[in-house]
Structure 1
């Protein structure tokens, strides 16, 4: 790799809307012609909300942040809303009631998620990102004022038709009034941001469409103004399964929850059928470069060039190019393409965490480690593999069946055990 692509719009598009459509980032929207014209004109203020229902943003949030960055590059003004109040309630899931988090926990997550958003959006210039917290305007509002000023504009029949609400109404447990009211709170947010910042566009996932339009309808009824909403497609794997925390397969943007190495491997392992779509949505590569990679997928899929570029670009955007370079070096070194002892020990530690692992002392037998990590099925098979030259420790071939890990440990902490070319295990020193 020669470094990540510059973070910029593709100059071959006349309008940022056209680029968003080409990249597959528009699943649904309000009046397309009016929205396209708005984005082609003077800068407008737009927002996207992130609820603190977990200690980190994740892959679905990254899709929104990249759309926000593209709009910001086009001159528009982003508001990043972290939901200090909506995070206390939780958007209703189609399956069951959310567990409410403690107020102190939500407050901590609000602060951290706000900082995360600033990593992806520019804080410079006339359209610098601004952080907002909806607790600032909901906390002072009385219940009576909320019902009189906001609630009167919502019709229960319409609210019941929202997909998540309808699904829960048909379930055994039903839905609480708190979660039922979530769409009213999100509508209140959009109206408040319109009044405070002249915000005219809200972004969100397509599964949030009912909440997005709750805001546009509230602004229309209460203020007589036509605002806009844009729903992006859900991010799914090649089989159509959604990635996310509720599905248990979230990819987190916090390096302590999903390491840079694990993130790189996630993108590297994407299927040929969806890699081009992911390049469009999650990178700033030009359509000319993506077309080249699409041809590479068709002509030489075994090289997985598109996946390698995707992994490098997205991991660099999230964690920086320097960290990604270390990850790439670690990935290569694991398979004999570099010196393991020259790697950043923390990155090497991340890489080893994905492998079968055995805990040893320096005088532990290599044969035993082979058996315990299931690289072989027995000690006799381990002995044969060693004497045949098929075993290595830290990319150095082992030929003595009596070998131990003494003098072979990296950073006195771990080693890479290999049988053959591609079967690996991690060895860690007993603490």
Structure 2
């Protein structure tokens, strides 16, 4: 049987570790309690956080006990980033609401029953009643400022024009205290986190060594980037690829993964799916031999969308992806799925006339940007390359009846096989 560390390494999920041999030995001796932390600094987690969530799940499936920490305390402070600006401090009420939303996003990925039951924890539970004097005497005395300022995020901010506030400077102390507290409460001996959090991870292991003399373990997952070196999903609309379907629709989520480049798809299959090694390697081979088939991208998109949004939504977005390009029935799509797909493709609003008619097909092709002019639209129609609701348009200048609106609202226009746009008809 493959050791969980070997699987994590094959998947490219071990960017940094404190001592892999010692960790391997401890994991082999029996169930280890471990934790990963998530700060509620936004109303949703994003696809970058999913790397850590799935790593927690992989360790649980291997017979270890996860603690998912949603930081009601650290979320009030904010982790210093490499950017020069301070984070905006959100209200206590706002952070409390986001804590609950993020807990609900993490929960479906872990099993909260059985021998290796997961547990949700909140660091506000052990910090809310702590006085400043107690904090400084019991925790602060163990931290050395020269080591604190050497952390990458802190040193970058110190070199910036704005510097860093004492509030954000103290973040690493709070995160270090989390690990110590979880060791005391639950015998937690491993912290997992992103590689950009390495300085904060080591703050915890250093604190534990100073307070207890014990050695614990750290495991950092990689920062996943796209082919241009940006954080994965940052190039999508809205500034991020969110797990919340209200912020990133399941259709947009699916489309992001189905459009990843061939050079990336193998590594993303390793990181974001639970497919077996043999199947992933077969998909990589197929990508090399028949890249146009995009079999690996389709499998990646389906697997990740299913993990985040469930089977029903995945079936809908796959059906929408096919129907928009003439390989399925538009009428079978849920209205929200159809709208999300058309928004992603490009959706324009067009008012209907008092006679209940929409503009002509040629005018709609121009309005959606599928044609640069009416003459170009007419040529496309004459050549048989324009479609309305997957039916070839025969008359470019005939008005379009509102009876063509799907769900009483939408038209799907297509030029050729691959270029799609949508119209939302505004009825008077």
Shift of 1:369: 1.2
- 1:68 pairs with 56, 62, 65, which one? 56
Residues 1:355 and 2:349 aligned together: no
Structure-2 residue corresponding to 1:148: 137
- 1:80 is aligned to 68
423 and 244 in structure 1: CA distance in 2 versus 1, 3 angstrom threshold: closer
Aligned partners of 2:182, 2:282: CA distance in 1, in Å?
A: 42
Residues 9-408 of structure 1 aligned to structure 2 (within 5 Å): 11=1, 13=2, 15-95=3-83, 96-243=85-232, 249-360=239-350, 361=352, 362-365=356-359, 366-400=361-395, 401-408=397-404
State how far apart, in whole Å, the 2-side matches of 1:76 and 1:407 are: 58
How far apart are 1:374 and its partner, in Å?
Answer: 1.6
In structure 2, what is the equivalent of residue 428 of structure 1? 424
Deviations along 1:315-342, whole A, 9 cap, x unmatched?
1111112211111111011111011111
Judged with a 3 Å threshold, the aligned counterparts in structure 2 of structure 1 residues 245 and 55 are, in CA distance, closer, same or farther, namely farther
Match of 2:408 in 1: 412
Gapped runs of 5+ residues in structure 2? none
Please give the per-residue CA displacement for 1:57-93, whole angstroms capped at 9, x wherever unaligned: 1111100010000000011111010100100000001
- How far 1:354 sits from its partner (Å)? 0.9
CA distance in 2, matches of 1:352, 1:204: 37
CA distance in 2, matches of 1:342, 1:110: 37
Are 1:206 and 1:232, in contact at CA under 8 Å, matched by a contact in 2?
Answer: yes
CA deviation after TM superposition for structure 1 residue 420, in Å: 1.9
Report the secondary structure of 2:357's partner residue: coil
Between 1:319-328 and 1:189-198, the stretch displaced more is 319-328
Give, in whole Å, the separation in 2 of the partners of 1:245 and 1:341: 33
Secondary structure of the structure 1 residue equivalent to 2:336 = helix
Q: Name the SS of the counterpart of 2:114 in structure 1.
A: coil
Farther off after superposition, 209-218 or 385-394: 385-394
The alignment partner of 1:119 has SS state of helix
237-246 vs 52-61, which moves further: 237-246
- Number of corresponding residues: 419
Structure 1 residues 300 and 250: alpha-carbon distance in aligned structure 2, compared to 1, 3 A threshold: same
